Structures are given as C-alpha cells and as structure tokens.
Structure 1
Amino acid sequence: MSLLKEVILQLFFALTPFVLYNIYYRDKLQNYSRTFILITSSISLFLAMTFASSVVDGIIFDIRYVILFFGLVYGGMQTALILVLEFVLYRCYLGGEGMGVALLMLVCTFLLSVVIYKLYQKTHRKTLYTFLAGILFSLVALGLTYLFFPAYVKQHLAYHVFVIPFQNSVGIWLLMSLFSKAIADKELFIIHAQNEKIQAMSHVAASLAHEVRNPLTAVKGFLRLMQEGPNEPYKTEQYIKISLDEIQRTESILTEYLSISKPLQERHEPINVSEQLHVIQEVMLPFANMHNVELDVQIFDTPVTIIANPDEIKQVLVNFVKNSIEACADVPNGRVMLSILIEKGNAILLIGDNGIGMDEGQIQRLGSIYFSTKSSGTGLGLTYSYHVIHSIGGTIQVTSEPFIGTKFTITFPCLAQEKVEANLTA
C-alpha cells in the first residue's frame, strides 16, 4: 500500500504543470510561455525528487525523466538543459550510493529524449511516441541499475519490471496528453474570442456608418446654403458653427470606436468606470438607434475607480450592451439601462433591459463556452466577459424572466480615492 501511495504521489507531481496551467491561464487571453514551462517543470522536478519512490535507502526513482521530456517538448532545449542542471545539483545534494548511477542514467535518457523529441515533432502518432518514451526511459533505468546493482534488481525485480515502467509510461501519457489538450482548447478559445470581438465591432461599425453619414449630410447641406448666400455673414457664421459641431461629434465617435476596436494590451491601471460608460454610450447609441432601442445611461457624478485593463473593460461593456440591445430588438419600446453606484467599497454596475429575457436554465449556463441564447451566437463574448470580470476580483449576478427582461449586476472592487491619487503620482 505504501508503494502504491508513492506511485500516485509521483503521478500527481507529473501533472503539476498541467494543474498550474489551468489555474494561472484560466482567465487570461493568452497561451503558455517558455518561462511558465521552466518554472512549473522545476517545481515538479523538485517535488518529485524530494518525495521520490524508493525500496532501498540511497537508490531512488521518481518521475524526473517524464518532466525532462515535457520541458524539452514545450520549453525547448534551453529549458531542458536548465532542468538537467537542477537535477544534477539536487541529486548531488541528496547523495546516496545510487547517485553516480543516477547521473549516468540522466546522460543516457537526456540523449534518448532528444532523439524521441525530434521524432515526436515529425509524427502525427504522438500518443505512441509518448508511451514509447516512458517505456524506453524505464528500460534505461533498469539496465543501468542492473549493471551496477544486480543483486538489488533481482531482489526487487517486480518493482523495476512493473512499477517503474507503469509510473513512467502513465505519467508521461497523462501529462503530455492533458497538457496538449489544454493548450489546444485555449488556442481555440483565443481565436474564437478574437473573432467574436471582430464580429461585434463589425456590427457596431455598420450602425456607426449610418450615424456618421447624418452629420456629413448636414455639413454638405450647410455648405451649399453658404454657397447660395455668400452675402449673409451672420447665417454663414451660424452654419459654420453647426458644421464644426457636427464634425467634432463625428470625430469623437470615431475616436472612441477605434479605441475599443484596437488590439488588447496586457496592462492594469486605475480607470474611471463612469468615463468608460460615457464612451460606450457614444459608441453604442447608433447601434441602439438602428435597432429602435432606447439607450439610457446614468453616469455617476463622482469618479468610480477600479484597477483593470481599460481595453478589456470597454470590450466587456460592448459585449453586455450589444447583447441587451439585440434582446430588445423585437420588443416594442425596447430599452437598455446602464447605471453605476458605490456600495460598501464596491463599484456596482447595473445593466438592464426589457427584452426577451431568459429562463432559469439559460441563466445557469451563461458564461459557459459555446452557449448562446442567439441562434447564430457562439457565447464566447460573454465567456470572455465573465473571465475578465472574475480575473479582477469581480462578481456577476443575473436576474431574468422570459418576455420581461434581464438585469446584470456586476460588482468590482472599488479603489479608494487616496489610493487612486497614490497610483497616479507613483
């Protein structure tokens, strides 16, 4: 039973990079980096060697070769060499009569790992090569151990013939297959989330084109009036003022639209949510008008400051407002309401509509990947929005009734004014 516990513990250590990946990158719109592979593999290697499996003092067996191969595949040669150095230093520190054989095994398995890695990159049968790597690593360990400690191997033959190959082959299969699936799913999510953003902004752009055309038509008309009455300086001055106001408003709308549609950047800073609501109102008002929906935005007079990525918050607001407007598109007197307030040190954003609403089952699935209440939707817009809100410590509550409407209550940790000033002067 003790040996079984040790094997299960080693398999858990082998899965450390996979577990940490799902924790660290869960709310991020990016995939793994080589630095992440190096850090997690180093942690995994250290734990595996510290709590290694052993039947005789001084001769230890762990999941080290699995971790080394994983680091080579996903982190590259530099990562693998750093892991080799970590192993050598720590194994020398641990000592024991099996230390010399362990270092010789490392050299052999590392060279073997490089060969299998090159074959692994070229083949589509990655599962086969993964299992093959685990078996070969076990055979190298068995052969060299028998060469130097034949009596020990004969005494514990079942351990070396069954336990070690099982530990290595299952460990490497679990780690490689699960991690590969996780990064493939993340890559697919990133691509679809980016496409969802492009699709959302293209819908908004269609309404903006109509909205921009109106002031341009007005300016064109005033220019003609000035051309027809050049000797009326008072009217000309009035026409010029109106035309400049229309052009300024058009420029403001386009600038705010471009600020939202630009690529997202990794940054967190104090942002005033009230100002963000004003931007969203300017950009989304044409979209609401095109769907015959009233957009009512109540902006808080006092600055409501949170720490977040301004690009992400704008995109989140666009996603929620766009969904609310579309929910009201087929409803008479459709109305979308946005407001914000401060309560118990939190910024509370309220987004409500009198649209088609949702039932309890739909509410429970909101934010789940690929779930959408729209026939042509993917649900990734809200999935991304939920991730952004949760990543900055926010929460989302939804109340809705079919054919009555929906209300989102989004709570953010609010930054106190003195902290805002400290951040701005830092």
Structure 2
Amino acid sequence: MSMYYKIVLFQVLIVLFPIFVYHLFFHESDRERRKPYSKLSILLIIILIFSMSFPIEFTEGYIYDFRVIPIIISFVYGGLIPGLITGAVLIIYRFIIGGDGFNVALVDFSLTCVLLIYMEYKLKFFQKKNKILFTSIVFWVNTFIVMLTLFTKDQSSQLSFVFIYYTITWICMMMVVFVIENVNQQMAIREKLKQDEKLNVVSQLAASVAHEVRNPLTSVRGFLQLISEDDNLRESQKAYIKIAVNELDHAQSIINDYLSLAKPHTEEMSSINISEEVMKTVALMTSYSNIQNITIETDIQDSLFIKGNKGEIKQVLVNIMKNGIESMNIGGILKVRTFERIGLIFIEIIDSGKGMTKQQLKNLGTPFYTTKEKGTGVGLTISFQLVHAMKGKITVQSQPEKGTNFTIQFPSA
C-alpha cells in the first residue's frame, strides 16, 4: 500500500509541476490557448503521457492514473481541437500499453469526450465558478462510469480504492483549474491596466481640449449667428456664415466625443430594453446602408434587458455599425444579432468587409489608431470605454478579406 501512496504522490507531481511552470513563465490569452500547438496543449499532452507511463496497476490489466485531468482541462481551456487531439493521444497510447482495461478506458473516455464536445460552445461563456462546477460534474460522471463498468465486470474489490484514488485526482484537478484561472485573472488585470493607462492620457487631453477650445468656439458661433441676422448681408455671405456655423458644430461634436472618454455618464444608468435599442439603431442606420448598397440582416431576441445609458448604448452601436458598413464593398451584408446565454446578453455585429490582420486587431481600441483613411480612431476608443463603464466587454474576431465580428457582452439586468 505504501508503494501506491508513492505513485500517487508522483502522479500529483507529474500534473502540478508543469502547471506551476506554465503559471510562472507563460501567459497565453484564451485565443492563443485554443490553437492546437499552444503551450498549454503541449504541456497537457506531456502530462498525459507521463501520467499514463507511471500508473498504479491494481490488478493485471487494470491501471489507474491522472489521465482524466489533461482531457477535461484541454476541452475546457483549450477548446475542441486541442481536446480532440489530447483524447486521440490518450486512446492510442492506452492501446499501445494494452491490457483488459482498454475497453473500459475506450468506453469511459469516448462518453466523456462526447459530453465535452456537446458543451464546447457554451464553455466559452462560463465564468470561474461555472467552470469549477462543470469540471467537477464531468469528472464525477467519468468516475461513476468507471465504477459502474468495474461492477459489471465483477471487479467490485477495486471500488473502494477507485473512489479514494479519484477523490485525490479531483483535488489535484481543482488545483489545476485554480492555477489556470489565476493566469486568466493576471492577464485580465494586465490588459485592464494597459487600457486604463492609455485612456487616462486621452481623458486628461479631453479635459484640456474642452476648457481651452470649447468656450472660444461657443463665442465665435454666437457672433456668427448675430452677424447672419444683419439685413445688409448678401445671400452668398449668409450661405458662407451658415457653412462656418456647421463646421463649428462639427468641431463641437468632436469635443463632445473626447468628453465622453473623460467622463462616461454612468450615473444615468438604468434598465434598458437592449432589443429595442438595437432595432432602433438598425432602423437609423438603414438609410446610410442603402446609400452604400449594403443589406442589414437582423436576428434580435425580444425583451433583453441590461443596465446602461440609452444615449451611450446608441453611440456604441452606431460607431460599430458605421465602421462595418464602411469596411464593405457595394453589395455587402451586415448581420446584427442579439441573444442571451447563461445570464449574459450578447450583441453581435458581423460584416463581410476587408477584415483586419492580427496586428490591427491587437491595436484596435487604442486611442488615435484607425484603419480608415479619414478616421481619427476616437470612435472605437469611446465605444470600448463606454461598454467597460457599463460593466460590459467587447471582443473582436477578424480575418483579412473575410470580415469582422464584433461581440458586445453585458450582464443581464
């Protein structure tokens, strides 16, 4: 029995040591982890092989190890492709090892993989506590299948050992989940600090511009309006004054954009029917899209509510829809969807335009960065700031010449 304890401790070391190394030296984003050759995927396959190479053999052909940990973790934090690769490695290596228990392993992990594949899409939206609950359920379902299979094969003598062994395995898996979640938290904090630092610079600039420029513009506009009321002016002169006033109003709107960066109106937040706001914005943008010969397709779930500011929500939607329309050639399609998943409201705005490179995606939302020839880069920066102020999040997926997908996420009210 002491030999069993030594092997169990060695199994724990095989799993936790690479994960702690990953925590200390590698900082992959969620998108990077979903690649088949990500550092996490490679580490999990190494853990799997080493774990299966040093198992506990209770009776001839029935071997136990921590293989379930890399399988579940690869699906939950890596995604479908890394999960399937890890599962294939497990089955192939278990076949090479041989023994009567291969059929048990094949049935057990095939059913586990089917469950994980079915839940793969929803896993993307799970928060930390939901992932802990889900991984625990999958793990104990897996354990129950093993114990049930052993019982049907007249191996009841192993059941008490299996229960104790898998309890230790579950504790080890929970440690892995907490380590990876800690990496996620560190990444989120780091990105937030970088974004806040950039926005703080623009906020200070906005306040300065407002004080130094807004008052003179208001004065100039007032005097121009007084001059325009002079009956001695010719019509052409009045037309010139009207153009000047319009340009001053445009300058005023730009200043208001900068002020939105400096101070979003979070004190005016209330419950909003976001489905109605999205439909109103689509109706507003339809005339603009018709000019560009762009079709807007909608799939809007009714009666979805969030906490926010109506004016700022509209500003965000207009900014992103306008960018999508302008990115497409004549005859393109802009898709707008709203739906609810696991207590979260999602707004998807998908265009079929020119798309963006990885470097452009990385810089998106940065103050003064734009991919448009005549853009200032302020619109998207404002949108990111406003959504963040309303406890939301914007994620962007894009490929060159294949279009861009903006996903806005809010907590349900």
Q: TM-score, normalized by length of structure 2? A: 0.43
Q: TM-score, normalized by length of structure 1? A: 0.42
